Every structure is written in C-alpha cells, then in structure tokens.
Chains A and B, each alone.
Chain A
C-alpha cells in the first residue's frame, strides 16, 4: 500500500468530524518488519527506520514511512523497497496500533556492466564490475577498465564507505591508472595514483571534499615534432597533493538549466613529498536566469591561479592551465590561447574566462514535446585571458594586467542534450580579438562534453 497521493493533508478542514483528516487519527507504530534482509547489517536498518516509532498520527506514519523508504533506497543496499501498512494484530495490540512492513530486495553480490561514456570530445568504453553492499553497510567495491577513442586507456579501483550520518559523509579510497594524449601540447601522459577522499555536507547542498592524492606521472613526447620546451619536461614525476573542493549546485538540471547557481572552488597544495610543488586555486561560477518561460540567460566565470611552492619543487606542463577550444573559449583551437611553441600549447599559471549565453528553444518550436525538447539554440560571447602574469603591487595594476590583451569571440549554435549530463554543440564561431601566436578557429566548431564554459 503506497499512499503517496495522500501525502498532502487538507489544511482547510479544521473541524474534528471530517472523516478523512488523517492527522486527527491517532496512530501508534507498534511493530516494524523488514522482510528480505540478507547480508545487510541490522544496526544500519534499525538506525534508518527508528524514526517511524515517533509518529503520533496516521498522517505522520504515512509521510515518515515514505521518508524512510527513500532513505532505505539511498543506502546502496537494496534494489527495491516496498512499504505495507496494516493494523497491528496479536495479543499486545492496541486499537490504534499499526504494523509496518518493508519488503526489500537486496542488490546482487556482484554487478557488472559495459557502458559507453562521453567525456570532453572523447568517447570511451567502460567495462566495470562492482560489489555493492560489500560488508552489509552500503559499502561499494568497484573496478573499472576504460578504453577511449583517443588512446586513453585506464583502469581504476575504488572502495566507498558511506558513514550514514547527518552530513552525508562518504569516505572513498581509490587507485587508478590513466593514459591521456594531448596532441595540442605534444605530450602523452600516463598517471598512476592513489587517492583518499572524505566528503560531507556542511550546510544542505554545500558539499566539501578533502582529498589526498599521490600520483606518479610519466610524461612522454607525443611525436618527433614535439616542441623542445615540452620535450624538456618529459620523464617521471611524483605529485603528492592535498585538495579541498567546495561544490554548490542548486540548478534544476545540469544541462539546459533554467535557473540556479553552480559554484565550485578547488584549492590544491602539492609538494608534501614528491618533486612537484605548487599552490593552486581554481573557481567556477555559473548563474542561470530565466527571462521568459523558455529563454534563459546564463553567465559563467572561471578563473585559476597557481604558484610554485619553492625553488626545489617543479611545476610540469600537465599541472598548468590551458585555455581555448569548444569547451572554453569558442572560436579558438583546443588549447589555442596563451603561450605556444611551434603551435603547441605550453600552458600558463593564471587564467580567467567568462561567457554570456542566451539559450532559446528552436525557432517556432518544432518537435515540441519530443525531439524539440532536447534541442536548443544559443548565442554566446566568450572572453578570457591566460598567461604567466607578473602581478603588480596593487589591485588596479593587477586588474589591468589581467584584462590587457584579452581574447574575445562570439557566435551562435545548436545544442543537443545527451542524457542528463552531456551535450553536443554545433557552433558557428567568430573570434573577435586574438593575440599573436593564438590558433583561432573561425567557422563551424563541434564539441561533445560535460563541462562547458
């Protein structure tokens, strides 16, 4: 019996003789049964369902049992959860006594799957297997192997341990190997590392992650034509870094959001052992404002700054910031802005990028209610700058340096939503302001990805 349609009590009725006023029906939960438990530990289930005993009337019982049901589903132990409310029977039963039965079906011990994944301009095949609810308290042990279209192969293993407390704390430890190819910078990177992560909510929606990561990176030249400044950085390096991530997202959806804010700040300190040392700050901000029913104005800003820790520790090319390309400043080639050598991007230590987008449905709304809903047109203006700036002493001077020689592009295009997180963009871009050495891309640019400026 699932009574979600009765969740909202009729607030208008105040007299006691209205028979359907659920909050006036005294009820006492006398017994809760959970059927179908196997390896899930009792203490976890008891902790989750305990609050049901506090319900004093029938309305509360119904609402709370729904809440508990959602909580049970979120534990990561069960595939399905059903609720059944009945009057309590037996010798000790009182007239207002209720008995609630949860029928759960546990997840299988081993799950496996093959998925395809779309990352930033790259598709990949993921073969994975996981052991859900490994030790009976919602833990997860997972291994994955990824095979990407750009020779990016990798694997990772992860152990996730939720603490089931108020702050939604989750502990994660993982190891991974990842290969990536950066033709636009002339290098190939193989990373192998371990990481520990503790994440929790400080206030609702504001998620913190504290991470430690130890990575062994092997940077090799992409080809014989790799430019010498990149070649000089080839070889092995070891990074040990502490990171703090703050994430706030109240948008109504990750793609084509109508309203809401995304805020993300990453602070990283590398150099606790290893030969890589820097302090790095990065910030992402996105604001969506609905203008009319389906016309949305989006403003976004990204910025990053990093500094070498000391003379003994190094910053490598794979640590630096890059800018340009269909995911950041459109109208430029991938990593096409900023310091270059032989048309290969070297990266820099400071950057900012900003974008103003106007999203509208297709003109005349063809395919409304169907295909038309996953399509949008957008008009955009992107601007940004990246370099190894030497900042002045005062804020005014620094601001002038940052905005001097900035890049600007505008254009319009068509976007297609893929699932709930990714999108395809087909844009016509016009770079308006560029600097010597930049690789511009005037014309049609296509991008698939998850993160866009």
Chain B
C-alpha cells in the first residue's frame, strides 16, 4: 500500500516536473536521446535479488520498446536514485526510478506496449503485475534479509562489499532494519520460510495458468507484465543461493521458464533490439 502510494507520488512529481519545464507537449514529442543510461549496482559483486529482478525488468521493457540505453553500474546507485528505488534511468535532464514511473515517462513520449490491449485486459495486466511484484518481490526481499543463511552468506557480504570497514557492517545493519520495517508493515515478517515458498508457488501457479502455452501473456505480443515476470523469473533461476528451493519452485512451471528463455534470447542475445512488432511477428 505504502509502496503504491509512493509510486503514484513519484509519478505525479514527474508530471509536474515536465509541466514545470513549460514544455509538456514538446517533451512528449521529443525523441529518445541516444545517451540514455540505466543505473544499477554492480551486478557481479553487489546487486541483490530484488534490485536485480527490477533492473532486468526495466532493461527488457526498454528493449521491448526498441529504446536504446546503456547500463551503468555504480556502487552508490541506491543513493543516487531520486526515490531510493532501483534501477533508475537518466534521460536528458530527467531522472526516473522504478518500472512504473519509467513506463509512464515513456508513455508520455508516445511509446507504449499496451495499445493492443482492451480495457479489461489492461486491468488484468495491472493485477498480474502487482501480484508478481508484491509476491515475488517481497519474497526476494524476505529471502535476502530474513533468512539467516542467505543473510550471512550472500546478502551481508554483497551489500557491504562496496564499503570499507566499519561502514560495511553499519550500513548493512541499517538496511536490514529498513527492510525489516517494510516487511513488518506488509505483514510478511511473521511468515515462515515455508509460507513464503508456498506464496511463491501460488503466484507462479497463477502466472503460469494465465500464460498457458503462449510465450507472451496477452495477444502474443509483449507488455510490461512480460518484462516484470521475466525480471523475477530470470533472477530466481540464475542467482545461486545456499538453498535453491526458490529456483526449483519456479522450475516446476516449465511454461514460465520457457517464456523467460525465449525473452532472453530475443532481447539480450542480439546486438540491438528490434521494435516490438517485429519481435512479435518473428515469433508468430
């Protein structure tokens, strides 16, 4: 709830920022600059599950839109972000963080992936997106910060890796308190690990049913939902953890895995991404 409020808030701020610039209409028509950068923490030694998932989601979304960008890794990406969320993009003078605000920012430039959806489908897509983000996102947070094993073996060394002593322990502890507070507000803190796994299983089940034997969730063409699910599924499948039950749960839904592999091939193993329509057509 809190989360969503913040999203809406930041989205509003972008709008006002744009209109303050006195060039709202001009901005919408302004072409996508060539020097757009996406900022995220260091992938190999620093980034954590949820940030990785979100970053991948935004990256694949931008590629789906056929927009060019470069990935910049910064150890202080979290603090550079205007809302504290990751990843964020810098497009000209604008700095926009998190998927939803980025989607609406790009929609203001006249580019979106949801034109082919009717109203009901759009509502559906929103619901599934929030399902994926809430359940999978929070599960990732929970595993990273509340599971002793993962916390000590993965999260702490990674989060503190960019700081010198004693900041590494201090800041990790501070972040842990922050995340714990958030999970408490969301009611996740009282869950056991098994309950979390169960939630993830339910969520994957729902997504898998919606996907059926297609490669995209709606009309065999890509939407934000595909990007979000790709981010989470790919991250959960490829991130090594002391306990790989999360990966095995996801793996038990072959159609999700297949869609994920397909998107990876389509958008990450080509030098440049083509436009959405082309990709959709290729598949058909």
A-side residues, CB < 8 A to B, are 216, 219-221, 224, 228, 231-236, 238, 273-275, 342
Q: Cβ of A236 and Cβ of B163 under 8 Å apart?
A: yes
Q: Cβ of A235 and Cβ of B79 under 8 Å apart?
A: yes
Q: Cβ of B164 and Cβ of A274 under 8 Å apart?
A: yes
A–B Cβ pairs within 8 angstroms, 28 of them: A216-B170, A219-B79, A220-B79, A224-B13, A224-B17, A231-B80, A231-B95, A232-B74, A232-B76, A232-B80, A233-B76, A234-B76, A234-B80, A235-B75, A235-B78, A235-B79, A235-B80, A236-B76, A236-B79, A236-B163, A236-B167, A238-B163, A238-B167, A273-B164, A273-B165, A274-B164, A275-B163, A275-B164
Q: Is B110 an interface residue (CB 8 A)?
A: no
Contacts of A232 in B (CB 8 A): 74, 76, 80
Q: Is B90 an interface residue (CB 8 A)?
A: yes
**B259-283: contact bitstring with A at CB < 8 Å (1 yes, 0 no)?**
0000000000000000000000000
Q: Is B8 an interface residue (CB 8 A)?
A: no
Residue of A nearest to B77 (CB): A235
Contacts of A234 in B (CB 8 A): 76, 79-80
Within B31-50, the residues touching A (CB, 8 Å) are none
Q: Is B26 an interface residue (CB 8 A)?
A: no
Q: Cβ of A216 and Cβ of B167 under 8 Å apart?
A: yes
Contacts of A275 in B (CB 8 A): 163-164
Q: How far is the CA of A288 from the CA of B240 in the complex (A)?
A: 70
Q: Cβ of A221 and Cβ of B74 under 8 Å apart?
A: no
Task: Give 5 closest A-B pairs by Cβ, nearest first.
Answer: A235-B76, A235-B79, A234-B79, A234-B80, A231-B80
Residue of B nearest to A234 (CB): B79
Within B113-130, the residues touching A (CB, 8 Å) are none
Q: Is B171 an interface residue (CB 8 A)?
A: yes
Q: Cβ of B79 and Cβ of A238 under 8 Å apart?
A: no
Contacts of A221 in B (CB 8 A): 80, 82
**B83-123: contact bitstring with A at CB < 8 Å (1 yes, 0 no)?**
00000001001010000000000000000000000000000
Q: Cβ of A238 and Cβ of B74 under 8 Å apart?
A: no
Q: How far is the CA of A274 from the CA of B90 in the complex (A)?
A: 29
Given contacts A235-B76, A274-B164, 6 further A-B contacts (CB under 8 A): A221-B82, A228-B95, A235-B75, A236-B171, A238-B163, A273-B164
Contacts of A235 in B (CB 8 A): 75-76, 78-80
Contacts of B75 in A (CB 8 A): 235
Minimum CB–CB distance for B80 against chain A, Å = 5
Minimum CB–CB distance for B36 against chain A, Å = 13
Minimum CB–CB distance for A223 against chain B, Å = 9
Contacts of A342 in B (CB 8 A): 93
Residue of A nearest to B76 (CB): A235
Residue of B nearest to A221 (CB): B82
Residue of A nearest to B88 (CB): A231
Q: How far is the CA of A232 from the CA of B78 in the complex (A)?
A: 11
Contacts of A220 in B (CB 8 A): 79
Minimum CB–CB distance for A227 against chain B, Å = 9
Residue of A nearest to B16 (CB): A224
Minimum CB–CB distance for A98 against chain B, Å = 60
Q: How far is the CA of A342 from the CA of B95 in the complex (A)?
A: 14
Q: How far is the CA of A342 from the CA of B94 in the complex (A)?
A: 13
Q: How far is the CA of A273 from the CA of B13 in the complex (A)?
A: 40
Q: How far is the CA of A273 from the CA of B171 in the complex (A)?
A: 17
Contacts of A273 in B (CB 8 A): 164-165
Residue of A nearest to B72 (CB): A232
Q: Cβ of A238 and Cβ of B17 under 8 Å apart?
A: no
Q: How far is the CA of A121 from the CA of B164 in the complex (A)?
A: 35
Q: How far is the CA of A216 from the CA of B82 in the complex (A)?
A: 21
Residue of B nearest to A192 (CB): B170
Q: How far is the CA of A231 from the CA of B37 in the complex (A)?
A: 14
Residue of A nearest to B163 (CB): A236
Minimum CB–CB distance for A239 against chain B, Å = 11
Say which residue of B17, B78, B90 sits within 8 Å of A228 (CB atoms): B90
Minimum CB–CB distance for A222 against chain B, Å = 11
Minimum CB–CB distance for B181 against chain A, Å = 18
Contacts of B79 in A (CB 8 A): 219-220, 234-236
Contacts of B13 in A (CB 8 A): 224
Contacts of B93 in A (CB 8 A): 342
- Specify which of B13, B17, B76, B170 lies most central, judged by the most chain A CB atoms within 10 Å of its CB: B76
Minimum CB–CB distance for B184 against chain A, Å = 24
Q: How far is the CA of A274 from the CA of B163 in the complex (A)?
A: 8
Minimum CB–CB distance for A184 against chain B, Å = 19
Minimum CB–CB distance for A149 against chain B, Å = 26
Minimum CB–CB distance for B85 against chain A, Å = 14
Contacts of B170 in A (CB 8 A): 216
Minimum CB–CB distance for A291 against chain B, Å = 53
Contacts of A224 in B (CB 8 A): 13, 17, 82, 95
Q: How far is the CA of A119 from the CA of B171 in the complex (A)?
A: 32
Contacts of B90 in A (CB 8 A): 228
Residue of B nearest to A216 (CB): B167
Residue of A nearest to B75 (CB): A235
Minimum CB–CB distance for B44 against chain A, Å = 19
Q: How far is the CA of A221 from the CA of B167 in the complex (A)?
A: 20
Q: How far is the CA of A228 from the CA of B80 in the complex (A)?
A: 9
Q: How far is the CA of A120 from the CA of B35 in the complex (A)?
A: 41
Minimum CB–CB distance for A190 against chain B, Å = 12
Given contacts A224-B13, A232-B74, contact A238 B80 (CB under 8 A): no
Within B155-212, the residues touching A (CB, 8 Å) are 163-165, 167, 170-171
Q: Cβ of B164 and Cβ of A238 under 8 Å apart?
A: yes
Q: How far is the CA of A360 from the CA of B163 in the complex (A)?
A: 55
